[in-house]
Amino acid sequence: MINTTIVVENSFIALINKHRLSKISKCVFEHFNIFTAELSLSIVGDDEIMVLNKKYRLINSSTDVLSFPNKDSNPETGIRYYGDVVISYPAAVRQFSEYHDSVSEEIFLLTIHGILHLLDFDHKNQIENKIMFNLQNTIFQKVKSKVNA
């Protein structure tokens, strides 16, 4: 079971389909043959993500997505807790039209991106970048067809 705890800032709650985000999380983990996992996904505003970016990355600006990997297991269930993904809804609004048809698709992509970071993928150099973004796009196409079905 993939258990995704989804927290949405009040001002965006009517704009987010939590059920679809749960399905996306499940699809990403299952792509890697991981069938039991826990994670947290938060949709926030620019101010909150900027505070987190400054505190944890020492960058004093907002960003689209942050990931906080974890290797612990939930003591109550024994299931591995992979960590937290935080997405800026306003950033998704600003950048969706460059690559996607809707803000929802951008949120889906940012969710996939964030979970890939929880699974130890990164894009710090050219090789990692190519691997991660190819994988992200492959999973996005797969997830898009399943989520919209």
Residue 25 has pLDDT above 80, yes or no: yes
Domain interval for residue 32: 2-147
Question: Which residue type does 92 have?
Answer: A
Please give the backbone phi and psi of residue 65, each rounded to the nearest 5 degrees, phi first: -150, 140
Report yes or no on whether pTM surpasses 0.85. yes
Kindly give, in sequence order, each residue whose CB lies less than 8 Å from that of residue 42, ignoring residues fewer than 6 positions away.
Answer: 6, 7, 8, 9, 84, 85, 86, 87
Give the total number of structural domains in the chain: 1
Mean pLDDT computed over 57-80: 91
Do 43 and 87 form a contact (C-beta atoms < 8 A)? yes
- pLDDT digits 0-9 by tens, 118-143: 999 999 899 998 999 999 999 998 88
Q: Which CATH number belongs to the domain containing residue 75 in this structure?
A: 3.40.390.30
Q: Would you place residue 30 in the very low, low, confident or very high pLDDT band (cuts 50, 70, 90)?
A: very high
Q: How far apart are CA 95 and CA 102, in angstroms?
A: 10
Count of CA atoms in the C-beta half-sphere (13 A) of 100: 18
How confident is the model at residue 7, as a pLDDT? 96
Residue 35 has pLDDT above 90, yes or no: yes
Numbers of helices and strands, H then E, in the chain: 5, 4
